[in-house]
Amino acid sequence: MTKSATKDGTTRYAQKFAGRAANGHFREAHRLVLSSIGIGTYLGQPDTRTDEGYAAAVAAAVESGINVIDAAINYRFQRSERSIGAAIQQLAAKGLAREEFVICTKGGYLTPDGSMPADPNEYFFREYIQPGVFTAKDIAAGSHCMTPKFLKNQLGRSLKNLGVECVDIYYLHNPESQLSEVSKEDFLNRVREAFTFLESAVEAEEIQYYGMATWNGFRQDARARDAMQLGEMVQIAQEIAGGLHHFRFVQLPFNLGMTEALTLGNQSLKGRDRTIMEAASELDITLIASASLLQGQVARNLPGFVAEALGLENDAERALQFVRSSPGITTALVGMSRVEHVKANARLLRVAPATVDEFTKLFSRGEGA
């Protein structure tokens, strides 16, 4: 039985929606076919009601034409990964094969298991320090670690939580948070060690690709202390594994209120300033947008020119349409713990991404407003 998403499986998945999904909804990246909308599982309480909500929402999403599922081990104290695991079991019972959908998760943040322990220090000591998974000096900013030993431990836990043998995209979670206290040189050494481990996890078929899921790292001025250069990251991957390296995905926030990925030339490539979208395209890295609705804030009360440029029925659709239509974004992740939001957002499947004209109109009107 296949352990991961495959080109054949994801292509077959897309073909099932022929006639229901508009041209441009499914996109190919690194031998996988990904939907232009993905389901995220970050927000919400660590409780049973939210667990059940996410499990139902993930199953409904995959049944509706959304085949990218995003988690992180620390989301809701590992409960979001477990909710996805429950959804995968429901989907398998309905005949959906593992190779049809793309499972993504992240490691880097220390997290408790299921709920906040009465004494967190005692928990982390017993669970991690005593068995030698990390030492105090491996931890940055009080909560972040990306040593090979820790990542190996976290990946093992994620595979178990998700109930899968292989994660399709494994991200280092907000690696730039280390730069608040680690020098650039030390940081790049830590990235090198992490990538070396991640290449070995590809070899062991526990992950298919790896990447970086970031918040500020690729979104601000190049001189900021926690700014990163994509070219440097790719060079490290190439030094470890050559041209066939598996560092192929970057996640970053992109939405109507955070447009830097498209507009800010903060990347330097071959001596020229580039946006992260341009740099990613040149370096063969696929961009996945997070927080597509700015955590719900751009799902309503948008200025009138957005409706004039993009049409559609409501602001949530317009906000999501903006992200999935942006050049350089392959999948727009939306957090959905409710099936009603999956149904609402899946209506966009029938709509082709905005044309360059519609997109340009949005920007020219936006500047004048």
Ligand X SMILES: NC(=O)c1ccc[n+]([C@@H]2O[C@H](COP(=O)([O-])OP(=O)(O)OC[C@H]3O[C@@H](n4cnc5c(N)ncnc54)[C@H](OP(=O)(O)O)[C@@H]3O)[C@@H](O)[C@H]2O)c1
List of residues contacting ligand X (CB under 6 A): 40-43, 70, 106, 173-174, 213-215, 251, 290-296, 299, 316, 333-338, 341, 344-345
Q: How far apart are CA 39 and CA 144, in angstroms?
A: 25
Shortest CB 307 distance to ligand X, Å: 15
Residue with smaller CB distance to ligand X, 320 or 354: 320
Tokens of 59: 């199953």
Residue with smaller CB distance to ligand X, 151 or 241: 151
- 105 has which bridge partners? 170
Nearest to 293 by CA among 304, 305, 301, 284: 301
Residue with smaller CB distance to ligand X, 39 or 309: 39
Long-range CB contact pairs, 115-124, < 8 A, 24+ = 115/46, 115/77, 116/46, 116/77
For 70, the 3-state DSSP assignment is strand
Shortest CB 332 distance to ligand X, Å: 8
Residue with smaller CB distance to ligand X, 117 or 296: 296
Shortest CB 319 distance to ligand X, Å: 8
Residue with smaller CB distance to ligand X, 174 or 330: 174
Residue with smaller CB distance to ligand X, 269 or 339: 339
3-state secondary structure 15-66: HHCECCECCCCEEEECCEEEECEEEECCCCCCCHHHHHHHHHHHHHHHHHCC
Shortest CB 122 distance to ligand X, Å: 28
Tokens of 190: 């830590």
For 288, the 3-state DSSP assignment is strand
> Do residues 365 and 87 touch, judged by C-beta distance below 8 A?
no
Place of tokens 């590809």: 202
> Do residues 73 and 106 touch, judged by C-beta distance below 8 A?
yes
Nearest to 250 by CA among 183, 166, 173: 173
Shortest CB 196 distance to ligand X, Å: 22
Residue with smaller CB distance to ligand X, 241 or 332: 332
Shortest CB 315 distance to ligand X, Å: 8
Shortest CB 293 distance to ligand X, Å: 3
